[in-house]
Structure 1
Amino acid sequence: MPPKRAALPTKERTLFQRLIQEYETKKYKLGLKTADTILKKFPDHGETVAMKGLLLGSTNRREEGIELAKRGVRLDLTSFICWHALGILHRQDRNFEEAIKCYTQALRIEGGGNVNLLRESAFLQLQLRNYPPMVENRLTLLRMQPHLRMNWIGLAVAHHLAGSLDAAVRVLEGYENVMRDIPDRNYEHSEVLLYHASILEEQSRFQDALDEIENGNERIVDLRGKQEAQARCLAGLGKKDEAEAIWRQLIKSNPENKRYFAGLLSLLGITEGSSTDSKAVEIFKGLQADHPKSTAAKRLALIHTTGDDFKTQATAYAKSALIKGVPSLFSDLKSLYSDAAKLAALEEIVETLRLEWAPATSAPTDGTDPPTSYLWSLYYLSQHYSLTGSSEKALHYIDSAISHSSTLPELHMVRARILKRAGDTLSASSAMSDARLLDGQDRFLNSKSAKYLLRSNDTVEAERIVGLFTKPDAPSPTYDLNEMQALWYLVEEAEAHLRTSNWAMALKRVEQLQKVFQEFWDDQLDFHSYCMRKMTLRSYVGMVRFEDGLRSHPAYVRAAKAAVAIYTKLHDEPSTAPFVAKEEEEDPALAGLSESEKKKLLKKQRQAEAKRLAKAESEAAEKKKKAEEAAANGDAVEDEGPKPDLDPQGLEIFKTTLENGPLKAAEKWLRFLQANAADRTETWEATFEVAIRQKNWLLATRAVVALHKLGGEVTEEVVRLKTRLPDLKAAPKPIGSVISAALGQVIPADKPVATFFAEALQRSAASTPKGMLGNAKAALALDRKDEAVGLLLNLPATVEAFTGPRAKNVALKTTVEARALLAKLDASSVAEFDEKARAVFPLANAFKSEATLEEERKARDEKREKWAKGVEQKSEEGAANGEAAKEPLM
């Protein structure tokens, strides 16, 4: 039986009411004194104990507060105040599951009539996507306070998100009927009307949506949003002429908005690559005549034009941009490269322009084009040839451009990108450093340099570079970047550590990125109430749906892939060291000292470090004390500053992962991937690797089938699964039959694995680098090591036939992976493989010897030194002439 609640005398009951008021008015210090006064006489009064815990939790003493609140609940299980206080503390700790349990219990005890509890519970239910209880809470709130518009809107949004669109429409109709005396041009009411219309449109009730807009036409403030909705609804009703008139009116209002052009084309049934391209050409000719200054009209026309029309329009578009010096021209046009004819046409166009503008050309020119046009044509072509796999030609063009204008950072950046795609990550990093040094105050250039350093596995120098722009009082630059939620840095460093076998640090970085995404998810709680108050309903629904697919973000998928690689490595080899130990270089300060002098110096260093740590601890304690005092008085709490990193090398998280089971840790990532990125092959490849190790045959089969449906080559997975799969006849009836039926979509049940593998070797996919690597792994699963080695040795020869934009870049990654596998199987064959790979990828570091890499490093250093001397000499000459030393563009 729960302890009976002790009733307070009149005096203490008055004090308790004051205690609640002091909490609500943020007079926490006074509240603590009032609570202590009550507890002196009644130390076991549960509600006072819980309120004291809530006060402590609000004054930066969260752990003490939660313990006291839990004690208060134990002392008085029938008090809704105790449960509410504990729920608030759990919500502040982002422990939403426990918070909603406390709120639910508080509501049950209180009788369900507490408005604040109902409202907070509804927000928490939405945060957890528990739609049925959220709708129930919203309905109760509306019945209690029908005069508040927020309760009407809250219920409508709850029904909408829960999928009950008819109920949402009925609530909004009721809201509009009871609303009276609304001022003209009221933004909040305008948003409600457009939101109502958007739900009707979602239901395909286009005429009703149009009527809703028409009835509230004078009150709608967002004219563009209204017109877009009208155009879509008219199109849905088949009234194309009226819809077309609206889309054209919108284009006239903003001829650079590509969404308006897309709406018009969709209305007319025109899609990229469709048989109506000739119609699209005529439409765009009219649009360009109506809006001659519209860049969007000219660019979108290139998608639908072909042949001579394409060449004519593309020439005008590219020439105009090159003359203006638009650096982003290639990024703008490269999406057209999926069409081989357009790719060849663009190459011919820009090559012709380059020859026309070349300084030594004999072709007549009218002299109207600026001399920089030649430079930007080289810039474009270097990117073009890099994307199409002609790295040597790309380097020739960009080197010509750099000799033309060596002080333009964009040129060095493109050179770095060309080298990176060619596999020379070390030279790429050096080239990006050249770009950075041309403008040391540019944060973007410094960030790109750090990224390329990470690609070359130089994590120390990368951290130093990013440290130029991070907070100076942070424990480390990486610590600050983690606080700033810099996804690109965390994932790049994780992959760098993974390549250098620093498993502990790689694991730490991917876990940090996981926490960042969890923070993204948790932060939406604040917007549930904010967006309701501001009535930004359409944007709010879009945000909630975006959050539902949050973990489909490319950075998360990359991190998950790295995480699964670590977990499977630790499962396969539990004795794996957290990192590969490196020989530590001797401290330069100790050079030339005797042993006794070294000991003295080291002792001094240790004493100095101990003093520094003691000082830091005392400062942290003082800051914490001041923060608690400020919070107790209801004042703003100053930033406590960075907290110390208790696991700087990732050893604790590495140890914990091993103890709890690596594959169990991988399940967390896989659940998110399967829910958010089911259309990515990386999701099911990772799922298969974990499932096959867990002997979860049903999940492994599901992964194989999903990969097959996505168009992936599944020879390796099928062979590995079939060779390990136990006798399905002996399996429980549902499981065995389900696996057999699912696998039957990929391989007939009566077909031997060896026959399936032999057929796979004859398929066209087997001649691609990825297909050959997969077949080599399948051969290993069949214990055919010699055949696997032979397939790997022949892999570089398949790259030449693998053409298309980015094809060589993809093939390079596969070839590097194949080399790593070959090194494990037959180290003596690696030299032969490298020789063949160098013929295809002459610049790639992965296939060069250590001696060659060292020679290239020395050559880069000498070149950098000569360049620095040249810059210094020009500076001195400029100073002597009283001018700023700056190399001209031409």
Structure 2
Amino acid sequence: MPQPLAPKEAAQFRTIIRSFEDKQYKRGLKTADLILKKHPKHGDTMAMKALILNSQGKSDEAFPLAKEALTVDMKSHICWHVYGLLYRSVKNFEEAIKAYKFALKLDPSSAQIQRDLAILQVHVRDYQGYIQSRTAMLQARPQLRSSWTALAIAHHLAGNLAEAENVLTTYEGTLKSPPSRYDIEHSEAVMYKNSIIAEQGDYQRALDHLETAAKHNLDRLAVLECRADYLLKLGRKEEAAKVYRLLLDRNSEHTLYYEKLEEALEIPADDAAARKAIYDEYAAKFPRCDIARRAPLDFLSGDEFRQVAESYLTLMLNKGVPSLFANLKHLYSDSFKKDTLREIAEKYITSQDIDSESKDKGEAAALYYLAQHYNYHMSRDLAKAHEYVDRAIEKDPKSVDFHMTKARILKHEGNIKAAAEMMNTARKLDLKDRYINSKCAKYQLRNNENEKALKTVGLFTRAETVGGPLADLLEMQCIWFLTEDGEAYARQGNTGLALKRFHALNNIFDVWQDDQFDFHSFSLRKGQIRAYIDMVRWEDHFRDHPVYTRVALDAVNLYLKMAEKPSANGTNGVSEEDALEKKKAAKKARKEQQRLEREEAERQAKQDPNKGGQAGDAKKKDEDPLGLTLAATTDPLGEAMKFLGPMLQSSPKSIEAQIAGFEVYMRREKYVLALQCLNRALGIDAENPRVHEQVVAFRKLLDNPPSDLPPKVVETLKAEFKPSEETADLSKFNEAFQAKHQDSPLHVLSAIKAKLQLGVDLAKCEKEVAGLVDHANATFSHAVAALETLKSWRSAEVNAFRQAALAKWPNVTRLSE
């Protein structure tokens, strides 16, 4: 039991709690000190003071004080509850749950402790514990619908669908009168129960429930979609077709409705005429419907395709629809359709009845389409792309779209500098367009113009934000900018700022994970159950998004380079070249710091003195704004694991993730884990050039295992390593790989790297890499990869290779860096 207080101090203690809830922290601390002055060992007051200190960001003071509070009053549920709240604030959820359970044992009737425990259990996906907590909360307050719904959710998430349905049915049986038709919470609960029945696979019962309980549901669209889906799955296709027609009348642009209608009408996939008839019907019924005219192009072929494509292209070009190419480029996987679309567009330009005077319709639109056609990777001819886009710009020199396409063409030529300049020209044509502003900033970052890009994107950020545009971008979680900014700094060798951006991006993903916390209770209060279930399931795999994989790979690759540098010259010291690079980086960092301070001073000077400083703008000072502490880490491989672990767990089918995992584990001498990554990579793409390098490296390791590696481990590794026979000659294995992929410059480059691992003379390998510039299939991207390899070897061939590559691709920016 908590230590008792006199009435006056008890009233003051209640004031502390209200002050904490109202975020009046100074007042709360002052009141706490008054109580502690009289009762210095009052555990509850010490605990509340610790909680307030933690809310002020003083966790270093809060934790010792909370432990002291527990020492003086181990039987206080308030002390244990506060201890759990402190651990929750630092994301130590396991310890927080333990503390909550101790608090609950001391005060089983506390609804607040029970609620905090339940929320934390679902947050960490402890569904069995969540069921127990929600059962206890239901028994305490059975009159609340949310208590029943929460228990149903707990069973649902745990996979107990029948029990979840039973909980909802039991609650419905307790209702003395049916809820109002306009009760949103009831309406949502009915549809949630229906979704649980459907998830059990009992579609007939789900349909019956839909026709009775959900007949007048407020979510009419969900009811129609579910009814159509259930009827289709039950084989009642004629009825399903009627419902899908109702849905198409509501939204004739929904592609899935057309596909389901075809299935309901039992139209075979190869019956193009019958399928086209459906789309023609809705094209006539809804003259402005685009999908009804465009979708038949997906399945038509031959003359039928040509006829429909010509009609569609003519209509769209006459209107000057800018998104025409984006709508049709998915057809380019079929060479006949790709060539036919080009021919129609070219024929359109030469026709007599086109609008040749308009700046954005008719001829101008056709020129724009053809410029995009020849710029697309499946039909690329950059010379022709330039020709058509220049003709389009000549017709409308102020078109943002035309100039943007010109910038993209320059980018695909490798001329990043000219592309960034052209995109900036496009931006100036419409200074109020945020999209073109963002595209311009992105191209400037690709050209390693970080400061310039920040100023560009800063035109659309809040001027009053403390810390300037970058702080606003961080607050808005502007992932694309931070990713490009970090990659640009990495290319320039500014390791500190690159890592700063990658860690900021990782923090954003952590915030997304933490953001679900409030929704565990909010969704129950608002009754949005189906959306909540979708959110929980999305949160379970949101890190498998390609954006996170890209960020994690950038960070891991940068840490791998940092791990290699100390031994680059064969010693534990640092080469003169590396020392010079560090000096340059430090000089850049000092300049960057001075620039940031100067801009902040200017911003402060421009601030309206009448407004004063806003309390909401006060933010925790960044102790490492340039990432110097991050760059100075002594354990880069350990830091890499912070990115690698989640990536391997969430994206096991990403070959880039497995390749990065192998590299990290090999350097950490975790050979079993490295082999696991290698085997997974081989299962994804055994012919990948990087995977081949790793196969050679691992086989070489097995041939000469480290002396400290136990014999049993070596034996296990050999048994699990399948790519090449133990007796096979590695050099011949590598030569066979090179011969097999002689037409691919990247595969040849990997084979040459493998030769170096196998002891071939470095000078010979350098000559072979330098010779790739003359490879028949070499592109400028292959040349850039070869140049990076020579740079990593500190080769004397670098300058000669660069000159030869620039002679072949004179405008490629990356070759001249």
TM-score, structure 2 as length reference:
0.88
Q: Please give the per-residue CA displacement for 1:229-276, whole angstroms capped at 9, x wherever unaligned.
A: 1222222222222222222221122101223224335657889xx656
1:403 to 394, 406, 412: 394
Give the C-alpha shift of residue 51 in structure 1.
1.9
Residue 295 of structure 1: aligned partner: 290
Residue 707 of structure 1: aligned partner: 681
AA aligned to 2:786 is: A
Q: Aligned partners of 2:401 and 2:347: how far apart in 1?
A: 23
AA aligned to 2:441 is: A
Give unmatched runs, 5+ long, in structure 1. 357-363, 588-604, 625-636, 803-810, 851-890
Deviates more, 1:662-671 or 1:14-23: 14-23
Give the C-alpha shift of residue 445 in structure 1.
2.1
AA aligned to 1:505 is: L
Residue 769 of structure 2: aligned partner: 792
Deviates more, 1:538-547 or 1:289-298: 289-298
Matches of residues 555-704 of structure 1 in structure 2 within 5 Å? 555-574=547-566, 575=574, 579=582, 581=584, 638-655=615-632, 657-658=633-634, 661-704=635-678
AA aligned to 2:525 is: R
Residue 175 of structure 1: aligned partner: 171
Q: CA, structure 1 residues 570+175, in 2 after alignment: closer, same or farther (shift >3 Å)? A: same
Residue 569 of structure 2: aligned partner: none
In the alignment, structure 1 residue 374 sits paired with structure 2 residue 363 = yes
Task: Please state whether the residue corresponding to 1:725 is helix, strand or coil.
Answer: helix
Q: Aligned partners of 1:554 and 1:469: how far apart in 2?
A: 27
In the alignment, is the contact (CA less than 8 A) between 2:356 and 2:363 conserved in 1? no
Q: Aligned partners of 2:524 and 2:712: how far apart in 1?
A: 48
Residue 787 of structure 2: aligned partner: 819
Q: CA, structure 1 residues 538+266, in 2 after alignment: closer, same or farther (shift >3 Å)? A: farther
Give the C-alpha shift of residue 825 in structure 1.
4.7
AA aligned to 2:375 is: S
Q: Please give the per-residue CA displacement for 1:422-449, whole angstroms capped at 9, x wherever unaligned.
A: 1100000110111112222333222221
Deviates more, 1:213-222 or 1:83-92: 83-92
Q: CA, structure 1 residues 63+369, in 2 after alignment: closer, same or farther (shift >3 Å)? A: same
Give the C-alpha shift of residue 415 in structure 1.
0.8
Residue 339 of structure 1: aligned partner: 334
Q: Aligned partners of 1:738 and 1:180: how far apart in 2?
A: 68
Residue 260 of structure 2: aligned partner: 263
Deviates more, 1:664-673 or 1:124-133: 124-133
Task: Please state whether the residue corresponding to 2:623 is helix, strand or coil.
Answer: coil
Q: Aligned partners of 1:278 and 1:832: how far apart in 2?
A: 62
Task: Please state whether the residue corresponding to 1:481 is helix, strand or coil.
Answer: helix
AA aligned to 1:669 is: F
Task: Please state whether the residue corresponding to 1:813 is helix, strand or coil.
Answer: helix
Give the C-alpha shift of residue 782 in structure 1.
2.0
In the alignment, is the contact (CA less than 8 A) between 1:53 and 1:66 conserved in 2? yes
Q: CA, structure 1 residues 23+792, in 2 after alignment: closer, same or farther (shift >3 Å)? A: closer
1:144 to 140, 145, 153: 140
AA aligned to 1:822 is: L
Give the C-alpha shift of residue 183 in structure 1.
1.0
Q: Aligned partners of 1:277 and 1:795: how far apart in 2?
A: 48
AA aligned to 1:546 is: W
Residue 533 of structure 2: aligned partner: 541
In the alignment, structure 1 residue 365 sits paired with structure 2 residue 353 = yes
AA aligned to 1:666 is: A
Q: Please give the per-residue CA displacement for 1:189-238, whole angstroms capped at 9, x wherever unaligned.
A: 12112112222222322122212212213341111111111222222222
Give the C-alpha shift of residue 510 in structure 1.
0.5
Q: Please give the per-residue CA displacement for 1:787-834, whole angstroms capped at 9, x wherever unaligned.
A: 64465345456664x9xxxxxxxx543431122213445855456655
Residue 571 of structure 2: aligned partner: none
Matches of residues 141-290 of structure 1 in structure 2 within 5 Å? 141-181=137-177, 182-265=179-262, 280-290=275-285
Give the C-alpha shift of residue 684 in structure 1.
1.1
In the alignment, structure 1 residue 725 sits paired with structure 2 residue 714 = no
Matches of residues 744-755 of structure 1 in structure 2 within 5 Å? 744=722, 746-755=723-732
Give the C-alpha shift of residue 153 in structure 1.
1.1
Residue 527 of structure 1: aligned partner: 519
Give the C-alpha shift of residue 495 in structure 1.
0.7
Q: Aligned partners of 2:717 and 2:278: how far apart in 1?
A: 53
In the alignment, structure 1 residue 448 sits paired with structure 2 residue 425 = no
AA aligned to 1:103 is: Y
Q: CA, structure 1 residues 160+582, in 2 after alignment: closer, same or farther (shift >3 Å)? A: closer
Deviates more, 1:183-192 or 1:258-267: 258-267
AA aligned to 1:140 is: A
2:407 to 416, 420, 435: 416
Give the C-alpha shift of residue 499 in structure 1.
0.9
Pairs aligned (count): 787
Q: Aligned partners of 2:170 and 2:483: how far apart in 1?
A: 50
Matches of residues 382-393 of structure 1 in structure 2 within 5 Å? 382-387=371-376, 388-393=379-384
Q: Aligned partners of 2:176 and 2:209: how far apart in 1?
A: 17
Task: Please state whether the residue corresponding to 1:87 is helix, strand or coil.
Answer: helix
Q: CA, structure 1 residues 829+15, in 2 after alignment: closer, same or farther (shift >3 Å)? A: closer
Task: Please state whether the residue corresponding to 2:459 is helix, strand or coil.
Answer: coil
Deviates more, 1:168-177 or 1:527-536: 168-177
Residue 745 of structure 2: aligned partner: 769
Task: Please state whether the residue corresponding to 2:362 is helix, strand or coil.
Answer: helix
Q: Please give the per-residue CA displacement for 1:652-707, whole angstroms capped at 9, x wherever unaligned.
A: 2212x22xx11111112111112222222221121111112122222222222222
AA aligned to 1:198 is: S
TM-score, structure 1 as length reference:
0.81
In the alignment, structure 1 residue 758 sits paired with structure 2 residue 735 = yes
Task: Please state whether the residue corresponding to 2:664 is helix, strand or coil.
Answer: helix
Q: Aligned partners of 1:221 and 1:134: how far apart in 2?
A: 30
CA RMSD of aligned residues (A): 3.6
AA aligned to 1:477 is: P
Q: Aligned partners of 2:242 and 2:753: how far apart in 1?
A: 59
1:318 to 313, 317, 340: 313
Give the C-alpha shift of residue 81 in structure 1.
0.5
Q: Aligned partners of 1:584 and 1:697: how far apart in 2?
A: 39
2:304 to 292, 301, 309: 309
In the alignment, is the contact (CA less than 8 A) between 1:768 and 1:799 conserved in 2? no
Matches of residues 66-85 of structure 1 in structure 2 within 5 Å? 66-85=63-82
In the alignment, is the contact (CA less than 8 A) between 1:503 and 1:579 conserved in 2? no
Q: Aligned partners of 2:439 and 2:113: how far apart in 1?
A: 49
Give the C-alpha shift of residue 548 in structure 1.
1.6
AA aligned to 1:702 is: Q
Q: Aligned partners of 1:139 and 1:732: how far apart in 2?
A: 52
In the alignment, structure 1 residue 743 sits paired with structure 2 residue 709 = no
Deviates more, 1:228-237 or 1:376-385: 228-237
Q: CA, structure 1 residues 19+514, in 2 after alignment: closer, same or farther (shift >3 Å)? A: closer
Give unmatched runs, 5+ long, in structure 2. 567-573
1:512 to 504, 507, 521: 504
Q: Aligned partners of 1:345 and 1:446: how far apart in 2?
A: 35
Task: Please state whether the residue corresponding to 1:154 is helix, strand or coil.
Answer: helix
AA aligned to 2:77 is: F
Give the C-alpha shift of residue 471 in structure 1.
3.2
Q: CA, structure 1 residues 705+81, in 2 after alignment: closer, same or farther (shift >3 Å)? A: same
Residue 864 of structure 1: aligned partner: none
Residue 875 of structure 1: aligned partner: none
Q: CA, structure 1 residues 172+582, in 2 after alignment: closer, same or farther (shift >3 Å)? A: closer
AA aligned to 2:301 is: T
